Amino acid sequence: MAALNELFQSADWKKEKHIPVIEAPDKIKKGEALDIKVSVGKEIAHPNTTEHHIRSIEVYYLAQGEKFPVQIGKAEFGAHGESLQGPNASTIYSQPQAVFSLKIEKPGTILASSYCNIHGLWQNSKELTVE
């Protein structure tokens, strides 16, 4: 039986359209407000059609010295062009991106995952220094 961590895929987001791209500063001051933007398809657009779409993005933070990460948030995307008239008959298509705002007091790692209904789970991470 496969373990969940064995199912996550990773690659360079500049060459792969499924990778969650984390946009956040490299360094912040302790207690400073921080926006973490996560998107999928920044360099290579993801189709986001009824048949092939990003369903969700999740973001976690693993503070230095901690054993487990804290879930920052989850964004789910439900508009993929489907309608009563059939697949891709609507004019509404989600763009998979979300912004999470918070304050962080310890350095650590921002962890992000995305889920594609066809190509599964993808992950990325970014280190954050807190002064």
Please choose, from the candidates 47, 46, 72, 48, the residue with its C-alpha nearest in 3D space to the C-alpha of residue 126.
72
Of residues 74 and 11, the one with the higher pLDDT is 74
- Among the listed residues 53, 58, 80, 116, the single catalytic one is 116
User: pTM of the predicted model, to two decimals?
Assistant: 0.91
pLDDT tens digits, one per residue of 21-45: 999 999 999 989 999 999 999 988 8
DSSP string computed for 85-126 = TBTT-SS-B---EEEEEEE--S-EEEEEEEEETTTEEEEEEE
* Catalytic-residue membership of 53: no
Q: Is 80 a catalytic residue?
A: no
| Per-residue pLDDT, 2 | 76
Beta bridge partners of 97: 39
Q: Is 52 a catalytic residue?
A: yes
Q: What is the pLDDT of residue 14?
A: 77
Domain count, the chain: 1
Residue 18 falls in the annotated catalytic set: yes
Task: Judge whether 116 counts as a catalytic residue.
Answer: yes
Catalytic residue from among 17, 58, 80, 82: 17
Q: Distance between CA atoms of 110 and 60, rounded to whole angstroms?
A: 6
Which residues form the domain of 19?
Answer: 4-130
Assign residue 124 the CATH number of its domain.
2.60.40.730
Q: What is the DSSP letter of 28?
A: E
Query: CA torsion sign, 36 to 37 to 40 to 45?
Result: negative
Task: Indicate which residue of 14, 27, 52, 106 is catalytic.
Answer: 52
Q: Which residue in the list 37, 42, 119, 126 is annotated as catalytic?
A: 119
